[in-house]
Amino acid sequence: MKTRTQALIDIADWKFDLCVIGGGATGSGCALDARLRGLNTVLLEAGDLAGATSSTSTKIVHGGVRYLEAAVKNLDPAQYRVVKRALQERIRMLRNAPHLSRTMEFLLPCYRWMDAAYYDIGLKMYDWVSGGASIFPSHFLSKEETLRRMPGLKRAHLVGSVAYADGQFDDARFNITLVESFAEAGGEALNYARVVGFEKDSSGRVIEAAVEDQLTGRKFAVRAAAFVNATGPFSDTVRALGTPEIAPRMRLSKGIHILLPLELMPGADALLIPKTEDGRVLFAIPWMGRLLVGTTEQEVGVHDELYVTKNEVDYVLHHLNQYLERPIGADRVVSGIAGARPLVSSGDSRDTKKLARDDELEIDSKSGLISIMGGKWTTYRAMAEDTIDAVQRQLCIPKTECLTKNHPLIGTEGYTADYWQVLVKEYGVSKDTARHLAEKFGTRGPRVLELAREIPALAEPLLDGSPLLRAEVTYCARNEMALTIEDVLFRRLGVQVYGWRDAIRTAPAVASILRAELGWSAQAEQHAIEQYVGKINRYLQLAGLSAETAANGATAQSAGGAN
Ligand SMILES: Cc1cc2nc3c(=O)[nH]c(=O)nc-3n(C[C@H](O)[C@H](O)[C@H](O)COP(=O)(O)OP(=O)(O)OC[C@H]3O[C@@H](n4cnc5c(N)ncnc54)[C@H](O)[C@@H]3O)c2cc1C
């Protein structure tokens, strides 16, 4: 991707065929689809790419076992269609970005034979709905086999488990890779660029977006023949910019995850807890060397700050511990993530967990603004296909074939599961570094390592003992529009998810590289560190954990890539 400075020059005050607002999964998917169909497209993101919901998911590529259960129980064909479509998309996501996604087996432990029969039938149905898009069939595991694969499970009364397959992916990097793929195809993308208003022609149709550069406050215009609003939880705000009197449609449901050391529940499989006390499902999933556990559901407002609270930590652990032989204490939590599901209200449902994760495409007859609302990460591509079909109809141009079904994202060309060995062989890096680079950058890994070859200081670890290299930060600043410590540590390298304390310790090293790359002053560097450390310490405290200072000299854990 070009630098942000260059992108700003190429975007501000120019005219495009299509302007996509929102750089999450949905907007990035729309931008890529439009560009591949030949539309001159610009993508504008108010914060960082993947900066909102799309980096806070459970990271499962799935049809949704729970939604299938609801479809059957309520004889609801709408829920059934959501599951069916997502299952078809699941296989495409796995195929188009193999370095960022993988299949995973989920074990559903059963403590009564009746439950085993119920879940076995339910998951056979999940297999059946996936049809030709199936990964592999679900099957029953004996008690012994279940405990061999998940030794930490509570043993008393366990009769076995039902195992089924779904996908798992790196949500934040998948999102960034989508934008990079869009840019590679000739699209223009800009982060920290908020749409704050629209200019309309005499008939009331939107012809221009007023955009505010969030770094400088400077305002500029972007003209386009069509505008897509893909702002997830913020959809109503942007819809109201188009037509102020429009009725709101979004219901936001906060969900959190906590991360724990993987050794607390060793194994390669994920655990599905079928029913919490408030009727939800809970997952405990190995992810990037940690155990990701969640999630929760609580209705929130669009302006609510999202963070993990101590009560939420206790809630998640309370339910997980009911399934474990040795309970896990809250002091073992290493980090957390909070996000808001952008659900489209169906009118009367009071309970957000009953709202189907379906999407809705709206074309505002007054302003012409096309809003794509709701949906799931797994269905981002299908949502984008429907949206760009609508854009072509609105522009009165012939509908062309959607090309994203079989469009490998960048970093996948020549990628195989043992690709990391190429990096070890050709660049002499450690196995952990090679695995981490292959997982995050795919076959773009050598570009990072070439930087390290050119400038030996960049071949140093980001922190003593860490497999991450300083070159990764330079690469992210130069090629992935990373502008802040959090852009690097949360969304691009995953250290903040691996551990809040690891992130605090790594922040000064990241800041010094960003200073060199972005031309910060010493004061700006110091300010960036203080802001970041302050924010993460606040997260620690809100989650009921003790704060950490940046300069305590503690040895860093290796971040990411250790699995
Ligand atoms: C807890 C949780 C768990 C989930 N788990 C899964 C899962 O396992 N699998 C799955 O498939 N789905 C999952 N989802 C759902 C999935 O994450 C979301 O459906 C998806 O990420 C929504 O993407 P989006 O692009 O619509 O929204 P977002 O990612 O929120 O992107 C919208 C973007 O628009 C930007 N924006 C807002 N206003 C403006 C403006 N005025 N100008 C410019 N930009 C603007 C925002 O900054 C934001 O980046 C989960 C969601 C949550 C919250």
- CA–centroid distance, 25 to ligand 1, in Å, is 6
Beta carbon of 341 within 6 Å of any ligand 1 atom: yes
pLDDT, tens digit, 9 for 90 and up, residues 257-316: 999 999 999 999 999 999 888 888 999 999 999 999 999 999 999 999 999 999 999 999
Beta carbon of 230 within 6 Å of any ligand 1 atom: yes
pTM above 0.85, yes or no: yes
Name 196's Cβ contacts closer than 8 Å, sequence gap at least 6: 210, 211, 212, 219, 241
Residue 320 pLDDT exceeds 90: yes
In angstroms, rounded to a whole number, what is the distance separating the alpha carbons of residues 270 and 153? 12
Neighbours of 76 (CB within 10 A): 14
- Of the candidate ranges 72-81, 123-132, 359-368, 441-450, the one whose mean pLDDT is the lowest: 72-81
- CA–centroid distance, 234 to ligand 1, in Å, is 9
- CA–centroid distance, 221 to ligand 1, in Å, is 25
pLDDT, tens digit, 9 for 90 and up, residues 329-353: 999 999 999 999 999 987 555 555 5
Asked if 56 contacts 339 with a C-beta cutoff of 8 angstroms, the reply is yes
Beta carbon of 288 within 6 Å of any ligand 1 atom: no
- CA–centroid distance, 339 to ligand 1, in Å, is 8
Looking up tokens 């999940």 gives 126
Neighbours of 398 (CB within 10 A): 7
Looking up tokens 């890994």 gives 445
Beta carbon of 138 within 6 Å of any ligand 1 atom: no
- CA–centroid distance, 182 to ligand 1, in Å, is 18
Residue 116 pLDDT exceeds 80: yes
Neighbours of 408 (CB within 10 A): 14
Q: How confident is the model at residue 485 (pLDDT cuts 50, 70, 90)?
A: very high
Beta carbon of 376 within 6 Å of any ligand 1 atom: yes
Asked if 2 contacts 183 with a C-beta cutoff of 8 angstroms, the reply is yes
Residue 562 pLDDT exceeds 50: no
Beta carbon of 19 within 6 Å of any ligand 1 atom: no
- CA–centroid distance, 467 to ligand 1, in Å, is 30
Beta carbon of 369 within 6 Å of any ligand 1 atom: no
